[in-house]
Amino acid sequence: MTIEAVDTQPKPNLLNDPKFRAIVAQIVVVVLFVSLLAYIGNNAAENMEKIGIKAGFDFLGLQAGFMPTSPNFNITGFDVNTDTHMDVFWLGLVNTLLIAVIGIISATIVGFIFGVLRLSSNPLVNFVAAAYIEGTRNIPLLLQILVWYFGVLLALPVVKNSLNMGDLVFLNNRYLVAPAPVFEDGFGFVVAGFVIGIIATFFMARWARIRQEKTGEQFPVFFTALGLIFGLPILVLLATGVPLTWDIPALKGFNFVGGVQITSQLTALFLALTFYTGAFIAENVRSGIQAVSHGQTEASSALGLRPNRTMSLIVIPQAMRVIVPPVTSQYLNLAKNSSLAIAIGYPDIVNVFMGISLNQTGKAIEIIGMTMGVYLTISLIISMFMNWYNKRVALVER
């Protein structure tokens, strides 16, 4: 009797092979995606031909023919008679970066202050911080911008009756005007002194750290740094005979002449972004500090450290690890939210380029693509910087 060898292994179905299925799925998705793109592109080409728009970036060289910003607030020196859509793009970009940078700085300060106040043992302080945080976090940013602009700043007196602060700063419903510094010859030395101060501080801090690691002796780094960074330029300023005068604004006719003007649009956007993002950062700071376990504080007091040293050496370095990643995303949000400027007419890139230039030229694809590219780049730069910083403060594991 012979036993036939039976191949008990059934032939595997190709459809059940995960590798084969992965390849098929990818091919299907990519083909669908490419055909969708082709379909869209085809439609776009047809539609654009019908309306008579040609694709391309030639429009950037055409004269814009509109004034995207008020003449008093014109950082790039936009000239309505000659400048092109490319200059509109630059103007918008510079204004976007301006509001993003000052917004990030002030939101961080507000956020840290209120984050710490939220942890106060004083119930009144705690309540005020909580009311601020919950109040701003739960109301749309756009509404807050409009409230600051239409509700607060436009309700200020007109130019003629400007609020006068010591004959130097004037505030009215169109702008805030303050003395502008005028730099004369020799101010370069002061700037040089400032730069030297920063560099010297860097090396001094390194030297002090190395010395403390070797000998245990401490060096008053903070006050020396203060002296170097601010004292040195002031000394140079006095030594060169104060090459700096102030251009003080004065009311001439219907407007202020001289000084530096900050438009209410910028102020409203700045205040709204600062307080809105500040509230989110405050929550991040609070949760970061609370994430440091109480044992750490206790251990530090057991070692004999005073409360403020405990805070600066033990709690804050550990809290930073928790705080940095969410705060990064808040910075990104602030940069993106600055695009809401369009609601009150602050001349940022969305307002002047994606708004007015798009309306005038009809080049929807190019303009929206360029604007999105700008935000992509800004986001990338902020994330790269904050990733680098996060690596510095992150826990070094084995």
* Measured distance CA(153)–CA(151) in Å, rounded: 6
Residue 29 is a binding residue for other proteins (CB under 8 A) = yes
- Contacting other proteins within 358-397 (CB under 8 A): 358, 364-365, 368, 371-372, 375-376, 379-380
**Of residues 31 and 109, the one with the C-beta less far from other proteins:** 31
Considering only the stretches 76-84, 190-198, 219-227, 329-337, report the one whose residues sit in contact with other proteins under the rule CB under 8 A. Answer: 329-337
Cα separation values, 235 from 67, 221, 287, Å: 44, 20, 43
CB of 110 to other proteins, least distance (A): 17
Residue 216 phi, psi dihedral angles, 5° rounding: 85, -5
Residue 43 is a binding residue for other proteins (CB under 8 A) = yes
Residue 140 is a binding residue for other proteins (CB under 8 A) = yes
**Of residues 44 and 156, the one with the C-beta less far from other proteins:** 44
Among residues 10, 123, 216, 253, the one that binds other proteins under rule CB under 8 A? 123
* Measured distance CA(354)–CA(366) in Å, rounded: 10
Residue closest to 221 by CA, chosen among 237, 239, 203: 203
What string of DSSP letters covers 248-278? --EEETTEEESSEEEEHHHHHHHHHHHHHHH
Tokens for 345, please give them: 């007419």
Residue 135 is a binding residue for other proteins (CB under 8 A) = yes
* Strand ranges of the sheet holding 163-165, from the earlier edge strand across to the other edge: 163-165, 169-171, 175-178, 260-263
Residue 98 phi, psi dihedral angles, 5° rounding: -60, -55
* Cβ-based neighbours of 315, under 8 Å, separated by 6 or more: 289, 292, 296, 297
Residue 246 is a binding residue for other proteins (CB under 8 A) = no
Considering only the stretches 18-26, 80-88, 172-180, 204-212, report the one whose residues sit in contact with other proteins under the rule CB under 8 A. Answer: 18-26
Site string for other proteins, 75-114 (x = CB under 8 A): ----------------------------------------
* Measured distance CA(54)–CA(351) in Å, rounded: 23
CB of 230 to other proteins, least distance (A): 26
* Measured distance CA(244)–CA(187) in Å, rounded: 7
CB of 201 to other proteins, least distance (A): 30
Binding site for other proteins (CB under 8 A): 18-19, 22, 25-26, 29-30, 33, 40, 43-44, 46-48, 50, 120-125, 128, 134-135, 137-143, 146-147, 150-151, 332, 336-337, 339-340, 342-343, 350, 354, 358, 364-365, 368, 371-372, 375-376, 379-380
